[in-house]
Amino acid sequence: MPRTLRIGTIGAGWMGTAHAVALRQAVLVFGSAPAVPEFHVLCDKRTDVAAAEARRLGFARWTGDWREVVDDPAVDVVDLTTTNESHPEIALAALARGKHVWCEKPLANAAADALAMTRAAEAAGVVTLVGYNYLRNPAIAYVRELIRAGELGEITLFRGTFDIDHMADPGMAFSWRHDRALAGTGALGDTGSHVLAFALALVGDIDQVVGHLATFIPERPVASSGSGQTARARGDEPRRAVENDDVCQFLLRFRNGAMGVIETSRIATGRKLWLTFEVQGSKGSAFFTQERMSEIQLYRAADPPAERGWKTVLLHPAHPGYAAFSPIQGNALGYADLKVLEARELLCAIGEGRPADPDFRFGWKVAQAVDAVERSAKERRWVATAEV
Amino acid sequence: MPRTLRIGTIGAGWMGTAHAVALRQAVLVFGSAPAVPEFHVLCDKRTDVAAAEARRLGFARWTGDWREVVDDPAVDVVDLTTTNESHPEIALAALARGKHVWCEKPLANAAADALAMTRAAEAAGVVTLVGYNYLRNPAIAYVRELIRAGELGEITLFRGTFDIDHMADPGMAFSWRHDRALAGTGALGDTGSHVLAFALALVGDIDQVVGHLATFIPERPVASSGSGQTARARGDEPRRAVENDDVCQFLLRFRNGAMGVIETSRIATGRKLWLTFEVQGSKGSAFFTQERMSEIQLYRAADPPAERGWKTVLLHPAHPGYAAFSPIQGNALGYADLKVLEARELLCAIGEGRPADPDFRFGWKVAQAVDAVERSAKERRWVATAEV
Amino acid sequence: MPRTLRIGTIGAGWMGTAHAVALRQAVLVFGSAPAVPEFHVLCDKRTDVAAAEARRLGFARWTGDWREVVDDPAVDVVDLTTTNESHPEIALAALARGKHVWCEKPLANAAADALAMTRAAEAAGVVTLVGYNYLRNPAIAYVRELIRAGELGEITLFRGTFDIDHMADPGMAFSWRHDRALAGTGALGDTGSHVLAFALALVGDIDQVVGHLATFIPERPVASSGSGQTARARGDEPRRAVENDDVCQFLLRFRNGAMGVIETSRIATGRKLWLTFEVQGSKGSAFFTQERMSEIQLYRAADPPAERGWKTVLLHPAHPGYAAFSPIQGNALGYADLKVLEARELLCAIGEGRPADPDFRFGWKVAQAVDAVERSAKERRWVATAEV
Amino acid sequence: MPRTLRIGTIGAGWMGTAHAVALRQAVLVFGSAPAVPEFHVLCDKRTDVAAAEARRLGFARWTGDWREVVDDPAVDVVDLTTTNESHPEIALAALARGKHVWCEKPLANAAADALAMTRAAEAAGVVTLVGYNYLRNPAIAYVRELIRAGELGEITLFRGTFDIDHMADPGMAFSWRHDRALAGTGALGDTGSHVLAFALALVGDIDQVVGHLATFIPERPVASSGSGQTARARGDEPRRAVENDDVCQFLLRFRNGAMGVIETSRIATGRKLWLTFEVQGSKGSAFFTQERMSEIQLYRAADPPAERGWKTVLLHPAHPGYAAFSPIQGNALGYADLKVLEARELLCAIGEGRPADPDFRFGWKVAQAVDAVERSAKERRWVATAEV
Please choose, from the candidates B42, B135, B69, B90, the residue with its C-alpha nearest in 3D space to the C-alpha of residue B359: B135
The reply to whether residue B142 touches residue D314, judged by beta carbons under 8 angstroms, is no
Q: What is the pLDDT of residue D276?
A: 98
Residue of C nearest to B261 (CA): C249
Residues of chain A with CATH 3.30.360.10: 138-332+365-379
Of A291, A327, A333, the CB nearest to B314: A291
CB-based contacts of D51: which residues, under 8 Å, 6+ apart? D62
Contact between residue D351 and residue D334 where contact means Cβ atoms under 8 Å apart? no
Give the number of other Cβ atoms within 10 Å of residue A181's Cβ.
Answer: 9
From first to last of its 388 residues, what are the pLDDT tens digits of chain C?
Answer: 789 999 999 999 989 999 999 999 999 898 888 999 999 999 999 999 999 999 999 999 999 999 999 999 999 999 999 989 999 999 999 999 999 999 999 999 999 999 999 999 999 999 999 999 999 999 999 999 999 999 999 999 999 999 999 899 999 999 999 999 999 999 999 999 999 999 999 999 999 999 999 999 999 999 765 555 556 666 678 999 999 999 999 999 999 999 999 999 999 999 999 999 999 999 999 999 999 999 999 999 999 999 999 999 999 999 999 999 999 999 999 999 999 999 999 999 999 999 999 999 999 999 999 999 999 999 999 999 999 9
Q: Enumerate residues 6+ apart whose C-beta is below 8 A from B218.
A: B241, B242
For residue A169, the chain B residues in CB contact (below 8 A) are none
pLDDT value of position A328: 94
**CB contact (8 A) between residue B267 and residue C301:** no
Q: From the candidates A162, A165, A172, A210, which should be mutated to test the interface with D, based on the most D CB atoms within 10 A?
A: A210
Contacts B319 to D, Cβ<8 Å: 306
C-alpha R_g of chain B: 21
Alpha helices, H only, chain C: 14-30, 47-57, 66-71, 87-96, 111-124, 138-148, 180-183, 187-190, 192-202, 335-352, 360-379
CB contact at 8 A, D283 and D180: no
**DSSP string of C260-316?**
EEEEEES--TT-SSEEEEEEEESSEEEEEEGGGTTEEEEEETTS-GGG-EEEEEE--
The ipTM value here is 0.95
Other C-beta atoms closer than 10 Å to the C-beta of B355 total: 18
Q: Which residues of D touch A253 (CB under 8 A)?
A: 212
Kindly tell me if the per-residue pLDDT of A60 is higher than 90.
yes
Q: How far apart are CA B231 and CA B166, in angstroms?
A: 10
Per-residue pLDDT of B195-225, as tens digits, reads 999 999 999 999 999 999 999 999 999 976 5
D316 to chain B: closest CA residue: B306
CA distances from A356 to A11, A17, A92, A198, A200 (A): 22, 21, 18, 16, 16
pLDDT digits (tens, 9 = 90+) for D344-378: 999 999 999 999 999 999 999 999 999 999 999 99
> For chain B, percent helix, then strand, then coil, each to nearest 5?
35, 25, 35
* Amino acid sitting at position D248: C
- Which chain C residues are within 8 Å of A139, Cβ to Cβ? none
Among the partner residues C268, C271, C280, nearest to B269 by beta-carbon distance:
C280
Contact A311 C311 (CB under 8 A): yes
Say whether pLDDT at A227 is over 60.
Answer: no
Residue of A nearest to D300 (CA): A270
Test A157 with D382 for CB contact under 8 angstroms.
no
pLDDT range class, residue A2, cuts 50, 70, 90: confident
Supply the mean pLDDT for chain A.
95
Q: What are the tens digits of pLDDT across the range D154-213?
A: 999 999 999 999 999 999 999 999 999 999 999 999 999 999 999 999 999 999 999 999
pLDDT digit string, tens, across residues A314-343:
999 999 999 999 999 999 999 999 999 999
**pLDDT above 70 for A235:** no
Residues of chain B with Cβ-Cβ distance to D305 below 8 Å are 316-318, 329
Contact flag C249-B247 (C-beta cutoff 8 Å) = no
Percent of chain B past pLDDT 90, that is, above it, reads: 92
Q: What is the 3-state secondary structure (H, E, C) of chain A?
A: CCEEEEEEEECCCHHHHHHHHHHHHHHHHHCCCCEEEEEEEEECCCHHHHHHHHHHHCCCEEECCHHHHHHCCCCCEEEECCCHHHHHHHHHHHHHCCCEEEECCCCCCCHHHHHHHHHHHHHHCCCEEECCHHHHCHHHHHHHHHHHCCCCCCEEEEEEEEECCCCCCCCECECHHHCHHHHCCCHHHHCHHHHHHHHHHHCCCEEEEEEEEECCCCEEEECCCCCCCCCECCCCCCEEECCCCCEEEEEEEECCCCEEEEEEECCCCCCCCEEEEEEEECCEEEEEEHHHCCEEEEEECCCCHHHCCEEEEECCCCCCCCCCCCCCCCCCCCHHHHHHHHHHHHHHHHHHCCCCCCCHHHHHHHHHHHHHHHHHHHHCCCEEHHHC
The most distant pair of C-alpha atoms in chain B lies apart, rounded to whole Å, by 65
CB neighbours (10 Å) of residue C252?
Answer: 28
Q: How far is D268 from chain A (nearest CA, A)?
A: 6
- Judged by average pLDDT, the poorest of B159-173, C225-239, C246-260, D12-26 is C225-239
Using the beta-carbon criterion (under 8 Å), do C212 and B253 form an inter-chain contact?
yes
- State which residue of chain B sits closest to C264, comparing Cα positions: B157
**Mean per-residue pLDDT of chain B:** 95
In chain B, residues with a C-beta closer than 8 Å to the C-beta of D319 are 306
Ranges for all domains in chain A classified under CATH 3.40.50.720: 3-134
Burial class (CB in 10 A: 0-12, 13-18, 19+), A149: exposed
Return the pLDDT at A289. Answer: 98
Nearest CA to CA, how far is D273 from chain C (Å)?
6
**Cβ distance B386 to B41 under 8 Å?**
no
Residue D236, pLDDT score: 76
Does residue B165 carry a pLDDT above 80? yes
* Contact call for D253 and A157, based on CB within 8 A: no
Query: How many CA atoms lie less than 13 Å away from A110 in the CB half-sphere?
Result: 10
Q: DSSP code of C233?
A: -
Question: Using one digit for the tens of pLDDT, what is the confidence trace for D82-106?
Answer: 989 999 999 999 999 999 999 999 9
Helix (H) or strand (E) holding B22: helix B14-30
pLDDT, tens digit, for every residue of A129-165? 999 999 999 999 999 999 999 999 999 999 999 999 9
| Closest approach of D291 to chain B, Cα-based (Å) | 18
In single-letter form, the type of residue at position C21 comes to V
Inter-chain CB proximity C330 and D291 less than 8 Å: yes
Question: What contacts B125, CB < 8 A, 6 or more positions away?
Answer: none
Is D57 in Cβ contact with C28 (below 8 Å)? yes
What is the third-level CATH fold of A138-332+365-379?
Dihydrodipicolinate Reductase; domain 2 (3.30.360)
Q: Peptide bond preceding B358: is omega within 30 degrees of 0, i.e. cis?
A: yes
Amino acid at D87: H
- pLDDT for A32 equals 81
Cα–Cα nearest to C348, from C22, C32, C29: C32
Per the CB < 8 Å rule, is B334 touching A331?
yes
Q: Are the C-beta atoms of C78 and C94 separated by less than 8 Å?
A: yes
Residue-level pLDDT at D307: 98
Determine the pLDDT at residue B1: 72
Looking at C97-191, list the stretches that DSSP marks H as alpha helix, in order from N- to C-terminal side: 111-124, 138-148, 180-183, 187-190
D341/A166: higher pLDDT: D341
Closest C-alpha among A147, A361, A370, A362 to residue A262 = A370
State how far the alpha carbon of B207 is from the alpha carbons of A272, D156, D174, in Å. 42, 55, 69
Looking at the complex, report in whole angstroms how far the Cα of residue D119 sits from the nearest Cα belonging to chain C: 35
Helix, strand, or coil (residue C210): strand
CA-closest candidate to residue C298, choices C273, C317, C316, C274: C316
Residues in chain D closer than 8 A to C25 (CB atoms)? 21, 25
B38, with CB counted inside 10 A (0-12, 13-18, 19+), is middle
User: In a mutagenesis test of the D interface, which of A167, A208, A212, A253 is the best target, namely the one with the most D β-carbons within 10 Å?
Assistant: A212
Which chains have at least 3 CB atom pairs separated by less than 8 Å from chain A? B, C, D
Per the CB < 8 A criterion, the answer to whether C332 and C137 are in contact is no
Identify the pLDDT of residue C224: 64
Q: At residue B159, does pLDDT exceed 80?
A: yes
Contacts with B201 (C-beta within 8 Å, 6 or more apart), sequence order: B135, B140, B144, B358, B362
pTM of the predicted model as reported, rounded to 2 decimal places: 0.96
Q: What residues of chain A lie within 8 A of the CB of D167, using their CB? A: none
Neighbours of chain C (3+ CB pairs under 8 A): A, B, D
Q: Which residues of B touch D310 (CB under 8 A)?
A: 311-312
Q: C3-134: which CATH number, 3.40.50.720, 3.10.20.440, 3.30.1330.10, 3.30.365.10?
A: 3.40.50.720
pLDDT higher than 80, residue D51: yes
Contact flag A263-D261 (C-beta cutoff 8 Å) = yes
Find how far residue D119's CA is from the centre of its chain.
Answer: 20
Beta-bridge partner residues of D62:
D42
pLDDT of residue B31: 81
A256 vs A144, A204, B375, C290, D210, CA distance in Å? 16, 8, 66, 44, 21
Closest CA to D29 of D351, D333, D356, D316: D333
> Residue B316: pLDDT above 80?
yes
pLDDT digits (tens, 9 = 90+) for D31-45: 888 999 999 999 999
pLDDT value, residue B76: 98
Chain A residues whose beta carbon lies within 8 Å of the beta carbon of residue C284: none
| Maximum Cα interatomic distance, chain C, rounded to a whole number of Å | 65
Q: What is the DSSP letter of D207?
A: E
pLDDT tens-digit series, residues A356-387: 999 999 999 999 999 999 999 999 999 999 99
Q: Pick D57 or B228 by higher pLDDT.
A: D57
Mutate to test the interface with C, among A307, A322, A329 (most CBs of C within 10 A): A307
